[in-house]
Chains A and B, each alone.
Chain A
Amino acid sequence: MALTPDGAGEAVTPDALAADVSPAADAADATDATAASALVTGSERDLARPLVVPNTLWTSMRPDAYRSGAPAVTHLRELEGSDLELSDTARWGQLEVIPTKADLVVDLIRMNSLWPLLSGLACCAIEMMSAATSKNDMDRWGMFPFRASPRQADVLIVAGTLTTKMAGPLVRLWEQMPEPKWCVAMGDCTCSGGRYKRSYSTIEGIDRVMPVDVYVPGCPPRPEGLIYGMMKLGQLVKERRGQWPEHKIGPNVPTDV
């Protein structure tokens, strides 16, 4: 299931973004090549370009809740210096709709009252509960009511290893959540498979089955780490940058998300 660099050519949807990324990436690679050539072989240098794959499992029915019309990637390292690099003010210039104060208020409301769904699968659930209880209180940001029903929840914090048997119910839970919704992958097992990467019955990272907004690494992440992830999610919600229709596979993660 892992996409190798050889498979890159087949899986990518050709779009302007990928085409613009490659020359910038080559330029960046050329400068680093001398320093890194001893360590980085040819195949690994190909991995340095982000692999953009369309999300074939799920697309939002209301994408305007998540994006303000701006392109998905705004702060990719490779875009610096190119004409696709956008600063904050430039981003709003690409809109079709001018955001009003009502939109801002709605965003603030959504950000400050993100109700998570109780989706604690394994060990990370204990740290999630620890983040929700007295010492590291998530109630300060409005996230205390962990809803039991997906119909009432905003955020799906997947905490714990996702196994093949549980994948069906979890995707069904995700489908049952009404939009706008966001997903936080908490813990190494949900980010990438973690310590169970070699196992026959786990799914190596939930971004294989659902779109993830925030990855919180750790085994388990400290409650403070989860809170940091939720803060990042709050930023995403407020700036309407969630639910990227394409998700990136590869070592290049945008720096300033």
Chain B
Amino acid sequence: MDRSLRARLEARFAGRLTGPVRQRHDETEIRIRPADVIEVLRTLHDDPELEFVVLADLCGVDTGTHMQVVYHLWSAKTPDWLRIVADGMPREDPRCPSLTGLWPGAEWMERETYDMFGIIFEGNRDLRRIYMPPDYTSFPLRKDFYLADDAARSPGGGVRHMEQTQAPAQATPRVVRRTVKA
């Protein structure tokens, strides 16, 4: 948990953060808008105080209401991982600028995100499906894509336990706690 990193981020990206800088364990998280992605990441890469040179991960998240793209970066200047969440993309037409101008290695990660979620990365020269066959029409990791299994489709409401459809709660007796008589 690097407090100085938080101070530096808040100072550098004052206007662009859409939420507070969150820190937990050894991760620092900032939230930005998708439109600011290129600018923020370029600053994070080039700024000598920040120097986040290693792109560790690029992934998409379907929160049910919105789509997010989450980046993880590493820098030698801080002991924390940095997580950048580009939040707020609509589920019907999620678009995000592509990182391939800064990190050409993000090309396949963005292809995978497109394949699994349908998020269009503007600027990626090769945005086609990478895992599924090219004529596949669905986006498998979206929340409205259900596995062909009833348990996965059950609403859950609280505890989405896999066995709930087959073993109802009444089948398992409740544990009786023996209280110690004082």
Binds B, one of A64-72, A144-152, A197-205: A197-205
The verdict on B152 contacting chain A, using a C-beta distance below 8 Å, is yes
Interface residues on B, range: under 10
Q: Are A200 and B133 in contact (CB under 8 A)?
A: no
Of all chain B residues, the one with the shortest Cβ separation from A165 is B133
Number of A-B contacts (CB under 8 A): 15
Name the contact of A198 in the complex, choosing from B132, B140, B148 (C-beta under 8 A). Answer: B148
Residues facing B in A177-197 (CB within 8 A) are none
Of all chain A residues, the one with the shortest Cβ separation from B140 is A200
Cα–Cα distance between A230 and B148 once the two chains are bound (Å)? 34
Residues facing A in B34-58 (CB within 8 A) are none
Cα–Cα distance between A198 and B151 once the two chains are bound (Å)? 10
The verdict on A164 contacting chain B, using a C-beta distance below 8 Å, is yes
Cα–Cα distance between A198 and B152 once the two chains are bound (Å)? 10
The verdict on B92 contacting chain A, using a C-beta distance below 8 Å, is no
Q: Are B149 and A198 in contact (CB under 8 A)?
A: yes
The verdict on B167 contacting chain A, using a C-beta distance below 8 Å, is no
Q: Are B147 and A198 in contact (CB under 8 A)?
A: yes
Contacts of A164 in B (CB 8 A): 133
Q: Are A199 and B132 in contact (CB under 8 A)?
A: no
Contacts of B133 in A (CB 8 A): 164-165
Minimal beta-carbon separation of B11 from chain A (angstroms): 46
Q: Are A165 and B149 in contact (CB under 8 A)?
A: no
Contacts of A201 in B (CB 8 A): 131-132, 140
Contacts of A198 in B (CB 8 A): 147-149, 152
Cα–Cα distance between A201 and B148 once the two chains are bound (Å)? 11
Contacts of B140 in A (CB 8 A): 200-201
Of all chain A residues, the one with the shortest Cβ separation from B145 is A200
Contacts of B132 in A (CB 8 A): 165, 201
Residues facing A in B123-148 (CB within 8 A) are 131-133, 140, 145, 147-148
Cα–Cα distance between A201 and B136 once the two chains are bound (Å)? 11
Residues facing A in B86-134 (CB within 8 A) are 131-133
Cα–Cα distance between A110 and B144 once the two chains are bound (Å)? 52
Mask, A38-80, CB within 8 Å of B = 1, is: 0000000000000000000000000000000000000000000
Of all chain B residues, the one with the shortest Cβ separation from A1 is B148
Cα–Cα distance between A165 and B131 once the two chains are bound (Å)? 9
Contacts of A165 in B (CB 8 A): 132-133
Cα–Cα distance between A201 and B145 once the two chains are bound (Å)? 13
Mask, A129-170, CB within 8 Å of B = 1, is: 000000000000000000000000000000000001100000
Minimal beta-carbon separation of B64 from chain A (angstroms): 19
Mask, A190-224, CB within 8 Å of B = 1, is: 00000000111100000000000000000000000
Cα–Cα distance between A199 and B147 once the two chains are bound (Å)? 7
Cα–Cα distance between A117 and B125 once the two chains are bound (Å)? 38
Cα–Cα distance between A94 and B132 once the two chains are bound (Å)? 50
Cα–Cα distance between A164 and B148 once the two chains are bound (Å)? 15
Cα–Cα distance between A198 and B145 once the two chains are bound (Å)? 13
Cα–Cα distance between A201 and B129 once the two chains are bound (Å)? 14
Of all chain A residues, the one with the shortest Cβ separation from B146 is A200
Cα–Cα distance between A132 and B17 once the two chains are bound (Å)? 57
Minimal beta-carbon separation of A209 from chain B (angstroms): 16
Of all chain A residues, the one with the shortest Cβ separation from B141 is A200
Minimal beta-carbon separation of B66 from chain A (angstroms): 23
Contacts of A199 in B (CB 8 A): 147
Cα–Cα distance between A164 and B134 once the two chains are bound (Å)? 12
Cα–Cα distance between A164 and B129 once the two chains are bound (Å)? 15
Cα–Cα distance between A198 and B140 once the two chains are bound (Å)? 13
10 residue pairs from A and B, CB less than 8 Å apart: A164-B133, A165-B132, A198-B147, A198-B148, A198-B149, A198-B152, A199-B147, A200-B145, A200-B148, A201-B140
A-B CB proximity, top 3 nearest: A198-B149, A165-B133, A198-B147
